[in-house]
Structure 1
Amino acid sequence: MSRHNSIANLDDDDLLEGEESGAPAGPERVPAVPEPVIIAQGRPRPALRLADLPEPEEIEASGPLSAEEEDLYALCMRGVEEFKTAWWVLGKSMANMNSRRLYRKTHPTFEAWVKDTLDKSRATAYEEMTAYVVGELVSARADKAFEEDSNSTSSARVPSIGKKAAGALNSVTKDYGAAVSVAVIETIEDSTGKKVPVKALTGIVQQLPRKKEKELTEEELTALARELAASEAGKTQPAEDAAERKDLTSLNSLRTAVSSLEAAHRALAPAKVRSALDEAPEEAARLLATAQDLSAKVAKRVG
């Protein structure tokens, strides 16, 4: 029997992987996979779209993949390969691999599959699978904005969100859904008048109560987010001034380091090196080896 369980609604305690048990999933238990697009030979295959992937659905499945599961497995792997940088499509592909147990084609567990395929931990994968629904929603809004005004839509008007920012909203997404998460970040950006750094966004979201502690309406949640963002903005200017001073200090430190390197280069003149080797061969050789090691490290850093 199929179990519907949206990844976005997982609580932190729900991230335990289910046991693989029961009879193999029958074809009727898997939603229809979009028909493959036939492309004329020699033409590039169109990029995978979010709409090409079905919604992730929890299925107790074991044994070999059915024919339809094989098709969906191939589709998800295509999403993994094509969209390692389009994080929301990758997240949805991972969600299908996990919820439908498609990983069993090559691996005994989702944890093993995601480690071998993407070099991600299971915890990181679950965070990205929670965040993808926010990226999917924002991406859909961006597509709509472009379609409505394709000739004059500027990048400043097109919605966008990075993986880390969406991940910072995971607690809101789990409690209230992607739409509320988007409302929260839009409220924060409206109140500050600019994109909020991930660190600041994380700090604001961490101060929002979890639903199990105190359930809020969307209006109450966004109002609280606005209040916290205004408070955070009051701390921003002094921090920016300090960062500018730090940049100047860093530049002065770099000047000092380069001057020291120039002095060391002069001190390591060939005649002085030969003289040191004559006076104390072993000690001089050890120091020269250290100098070569440091030289390689410096070259690597400035390269």
Structure 2
Amino acid sequence: MAIENLKVAFWAAGKALEIIRDGRLYRAEHTSFEEYCDQRWGMSRGQADKLIRMWPIAQAMFDSLPSDSNDPTRIRVKRLSQSVVWELVPVAEGFDVQTATTIYEATVDADEAPVTAEILKGVVKNVVKALPKGQDVDREALTSAVRGALKRVTSGKKQATPKKTVTAKPKTTPPVPVLPWDSPESLNRLLRQHMTEENRRTLGKLLTEE
């Protein structure tokens, strides 16, 4: 089962939440999906929706992982953060998931430094302007566009003159709660406690579907 093989896989959490929401599996104990998210996982409906919107992109990246555990691409993807994937959501929803993953892969291949959400946001902003809507995106042309955008983003950061600013306490965004996907025992216990046996079987079947 997928949840037994993945450790802290936020995309699996998003996929499960989508199944629970669309199948209304929360109705056994809760009157709404919002109530379910709040009382069961301590997260808002907005946080749950964010995970749901991200999971197709992250899963596509995990599904394309090379078998060699030492491959640099495999290592980078396994360290994929939610903040990085979130910057690709507009691309996946405006075009498709493949275009989003291609932008990420091309950015990683063109930059030796770790790809941060800030860098990826700049690349996406530059590249999306030139993408033809309603048409197939040429992978080679997209990769070339990403490299050009990355140069503009990184050179702009190097040339920018830092301004003196008053140090202020940075605003922090509450982290998205992590569901216990790394502990099958804990997850199974929660499901048995809060879901009917029929709903647990349905969820397990849907999560293991290809």
Matches within 5 A, 1:88-237: 88-142=11-65, 145-146=66-67, 149=68, 153-154=70-71, 156-158=72-74, 159-160=76-77, 161-207=80-126, 208-209=128-129, 214-215=133-134, 217-219=136-138, 221-237=142-158
Q: Name the SS of the counterpart of 1:48 in structure 2.
A: helix
Identity %: 19
Counterpart-to-counterpart distance in 1, 2:157 and 2:48: 32
Match of 1:48 in 2: 4
Matches within 5 A, 1:214-293: 214-215=133-134, 217-219=136-138, 221-238=142-159
Q: Following TM superposition, by how much is the alpha carbon of 1:125 offset from its aligned partner in structure 2, in angstroms?
A: 1.6
Counterpart-to-counterpart distance in 1, 2:5 and 2:33: 23
> Quick one: structure 1 residues 226 and 218, their matched pair in 2 at CA, closer, same or farther if it must change by over 3 Å?
farther
The one-letter amino acid paired with 1:195 is: P
The one-letter amino acid paired with 2:154 is: A
Counterpart-to-counterpart distance in 1, 2:124 and 2:73: 24
8 A Cα contact 2:119 2:154, kept in partner: no
Q: Name the SS of the counterpart of 1:107 in structure 2.
A: coil
The one-letter amino acid paired with 2:58 is: G
Deviations 1:247-297 (A, max 9, x none): xxx9xxxxxxxxxxxxxxxxxxxxxxxxxxxxxxxxxxxxxxxxxxxxxxx
Residues matched between the structures, number: 160
Counterpart-to-counterpart distance in 2, 1:121 and 1:177: 27
> Which structure carries more relative contact order (alpha carbon 8 Å, separation 6+)?
2
Deviations 1:20-57 (A, max 9, x none): xxxxxxxxxxxxxx8xxxxxxxxxxx95257xxxxxxx
Counterpart-to-counterpart distance in 2, 1:195 and 1:222: 18
> Quick one: structure 1 residues 201 and 171, their matched pair in 2 at CA, closer, same or farther if it must change by over 3 Å?
same
Match of 2:184 in 1: none
Q: Following TM superposition, by how much is the alpha carbon of 1:97 offset from its aligned partner in structure 2, in angstroms?
A: 0.7
Counterpart-to-counterpart distance in 2, 1:237 and 1:223: 22
| RMSD across aligned positions (CA) | 3.2
Unaligned runs of 5+ in 2: 168-210
Q: Following TM superposition, by how much is the alpha carbon of 1:221 offset from its aligned partner in structure 2, in angstroms?
A: 4.4
Counterpart-to-counterpart distance in 1, 2:130 and 2:85: 17
Counterpart-to-counterpart distance in 2, 1:229 and 1:205: 9
Counterpart-to-counterpart distance in 1, 2:112 and 2:136: 24
**TM value normalised by structure 2:** 0.63
Match of 2:192 in 1: none
8 A Cα contact 2:107 2:115, kept in partner: yes
8 A Cα contact 1:173 1:180, kept in partner: yes
The one-letter amino acid paired with 1:93 is: A
**TM value normalised by structure 1:** 0.45
Unaligned runs of 5+ in 1: 1-33, 35-45, 51-82, 251-303
Q: Following TM superposition, by how much is the alpha carbon of 1:222 offset from its aligned partner in structure 2, in angstroms?
A: 4.2
Matches within 5 A, 1:22-101: 48-49=4-5, 85-101=8-24
